[in-house]
Amino acid sequence: MKSRETLLRLKRFQVDEKRRRVSQIEMMIAEFHRMATDLDREIQSEETRAGITDPGHFAYPTYAKAALGRRDNLRQSADNLKGQLDEAKAELQEAFEDMKKVEILDDRERATERAAEAARDQAMMDSIGLRSRANI
């Protein structure tokens, strides 16, 4: 009984950990996208201010070039995290399925225990009823 409860708690903990990991990765991806969008606006602003939109131009703003590199790195990092996110979601699904198996097994065992207890109670009631009939 105790080991079954411990196993169920462990499986629930594992699912919660996997959920947190998925959530963290999703938040990181969203943050990288937000930062890249902010850099896009800054690049656009810098290009407008300088009047040059071609990064290959000799007078292209230095800040805009650096921001382009950083933005591209953020997008690449977000793309790399998408692969990790897919893995984390697969691990979460697997952990969830394991937890469900343990929960189903636990429910079956509890149902069996309840049925055995009900049978014992019924047998006791039957024996009380037989004794009381014998005394009449």
List, in order of start, the domains of the chain with CATH numbers: 1-134 (1.10.287)
Tokens of residue 130, six digits: 């037989």
Name residues whose C-beta falls within 8 Å of residue 98's C-beta, 6 or more positions apart in sequence.
11, 14
Tokens of residue 123, six digits: 């047998």
pLDDT of residue 118: 86
Which H or E run includes 70?
helix 62-134
pLDDT of residue 128: 80
Distance of CA 68 to the CA centre of its chain: 33
pLDDT of residue 4: 82
Name residues whose C-beta falls within 8 Å of residue 61's C-beta, 6 or more positions apart in sequence.
46, 47, 49, 50, 52
End-to-end, the C-alpha distance of the chain in Å comes to 43
Separation of alpha carbons 121 and 119, rounded Å: 5
Count the neighbouring beta carbons within 10 Å of the beta carbon of residue 95.
19
Point out the residues of the chain with pLDDT beneath 50. none
| CA 5 vs CA 9, 10, 92: distances in Å | 6, 9, 21
Q: Which of 30, 56, 55 is nearest to 44 (CA)?
A: 55
| pTM, two decimal places | 0.73
pLDDT of residue 122: 87
pLDDT of residue 26: 97
pLDDT of residue 41: 97
pLDDT of residue 129: 74
pLDDT of residue 1: 55
